[in-house]
Amino acid sequence: MRVLHCFYEQGETFDGLVFLGTQMHDIAQLYARRWDIECAFLLLKKHLGLALFWSAKPHVLLQQVWGTLIIAQMLQVLRLQIAVEAKQDPYDVSMGLLIEYLPTLSDYHQDALGVLVTRGKDLGFLRPSSRIRIQTPDLTGIVLVPLPADLILEQVPNYPPDPGKDRKRSPKKRKKKQASGHQKRSKKRAA
């Protein structure tokens, strides 16, 4: 995959990345992966309780954050191991239920991982993920043609009005605004 860096005049960088020589499916997968960071923060804050800090002291905060990150990584490894052994997608393993039932499952079963793999669907640990499956059309037979060189891709900017200045309105809009203001005043006087 190659990334093209675009620059504006005066050294300003273009606001996006242009992928060259990449299949549409790869781009769709990269776009779908943007939610992984949100899922990671959900795991840390909601399921592992990192939203509430124990102390204001820096060394205690560091211990809490690092401890939570280590537990989160261990849970992700366990989730991946269950998914591989059950031949499922890792997102089909419920992280919330895994966190909730793992302590009690390990107390009652010697092979808690085996129970999760064999009875995962019955227990609700293995369920179809709500994540959208990436589907893209097959474009291998279609020849993509570059844009013509003489095509001009420009659009006149339409900036919002400056809040400090009066906006120029068309005569029709001015009349409508004046008429509606007059109607509001007459209703207030009548009341």
What are the angstrom distances between the C-alpha of 63 and each of 26, 50, 51, 127?
Answer: 38, 11, 14, 34
pLDDT in tens, 132-179: 777 777 666 666 677 778 877 777 777 777 777 666 666 665 566 666
pTM exceeding the 0.75 threshold for the entire prediction: no
pLDDT in tens, 44-62: 999 898 888 888 999 999 9
Question: Nearest to residue 43, comparing CAs of 66, 63, 73, 64?
Answer: 73
- Separation CA 19–CA 37 (nearest Å): 22
| Domain spans of the chain, in order of start | 37-123
8 Å CB contact between 22 and 1: yes
Q: Which helix H or strand E contains 71, and what residues bound it? A: helix 58-86
- Separation CA 155–CA 178 (nearest Å): 33
- Separation CA 108–CA 44 (nearest Å): 27
